[in-house]
Structure 1
Amino acid sequence: MTSDDIDIRRAGASDAAAAAEVWLRSFGTALPTVRRAHDDEAVRGWFTHVVVPEYETWVAVAGEAGVVGLLVLDDGELEQLYLDPAWRGRGLGDRFVELAKRQCPEGLALWTFQVNAPARRFYERHGFVEAERTDGLRNEEREPDVRYVWRPAAE
């Protein structure tokens, strides 16, 4: 199945549990050295009671596999972009970034951990530029992070 065969749509309440599971699998695989600030049950509750109902949340649904990716936007912030590890490298992340840019045409900003080199390369490939680095004292994981911004090209 290619990225084009996957349906991307706004998440509903019934997607919260599956989106949380994607987040948990992806975080564990992509960031094994980063201390998680919350246990699995807290993450599931956060998706159910905060992320899906309060933010612009999108999910990628791949037939029988169900939810395989998620994108969360909040007023020009790309808050979350996570893919099930088995679905990385199929163009799904590219589709999510294109969607985020359409939804926020004036520009986007995001944070990622400095240790997450694959994510940093991905965002840079999509035109995001580094704007700030921190020592991590402002995030719950206490992990050094980096802020990226994307602005549309002047016409």
Structure 2
Amino acid sequence: MSDLTIRLAHHDEYDEIGRVWMESWVSTGLAEASDFLLANLRARIRREIENGWSLFVADDNGIIAAMLALHLPKLYLDMLFVGPAYQGQSLGRKLLAFTRTQMPDEMYLRCIRENEKAWRWYEREGFVFEKEEVEPSNGFMMKYYRWKRPIG
């Protein structure tokens, strides 16, 4: 992982990014891998890019280790998923540091309530819980967070 680079995703990588996203999502225990899930995630990548995503990858010498989707105009960290082979190596922290270079003063995110490992990590990283509400598109209870750059 020493030569890892965070960079904009290339169009021809979207299918592989979808695979990494699915494997990471499945690693939370909240879903099972399936061709249906993979097809939905791959389609969502293209749709979200059309709707304003800036999509980044963590590139480990040509292997996509993680994905990071930001909606910069909305100050929104939408997706941060690290492939299972790269989890536990501080890659999430590197991606979050990169995100703070893109949105240095403030950002928002949401996290599925059942993904306790993720939202506890965001809390340790300085995000403040704001509210919970159901996401109508999937029925999950979401926890909403905000981060602001410390003053001084």
For this structure pair, what is the TM-score category when the shorter chain's length is used for normalisation?
Answer: 0.7 to 0.9
Output aligned runs, 1:6-155, within 5 Å.
Answer: 6-32=4-30, 39-47=37-45, 49-52=46-49, 54-63=52-61, 66-74=63-71, 75=73, 76-134=75-133, 136=134, 138-155=135-152
8 A Cα contact 2:22 2:37, kept in partner: no
Q: Aligned equivalents of 2:110 and 2:30: distance in 1? A: 18
**Which residue identity is paired with 2:4?**
I
8 A Cα contact 2:28 2:115, kept in partner: yes
Q: Unpaired runs of 5+ in structure 2?
A: none
Shift of 1:51: 3.6
- Relative contact order, higher structure (CA 8 A, sep 6+): 1
Q: Aligned equivalents of 1:146 and 1:14: distance in 2? A: 33
Shift of 1:31: 3.8
Q: Aligned equivalents of 2:80 and 2:120: distance in 1? A: 14
Q: Unpaired runs of 5+ in structure 1?
A: none
8 A Cα contact 1:11 1:52, kept in partner: no
Name the % identity: 23
Provide, for residues 70-95 of structure 1, a one-character-per-residue CA deviation record: whole Å limited to 9, x for no partner.
11110210000001012111111001
Please give the TM-score of this superposition, normalised by the length of structure 2: 0.87
Shift of 1:125: 1.4
Structure with bigger strand share is 2
Please give the TM-score of this superposition, normalised by the length of structure 1: 0.86
**Which residue identity is paired with 2:146?**
V
Q: Aligned equivalents of 2:27 and 2:91: distance in 1? A: 17
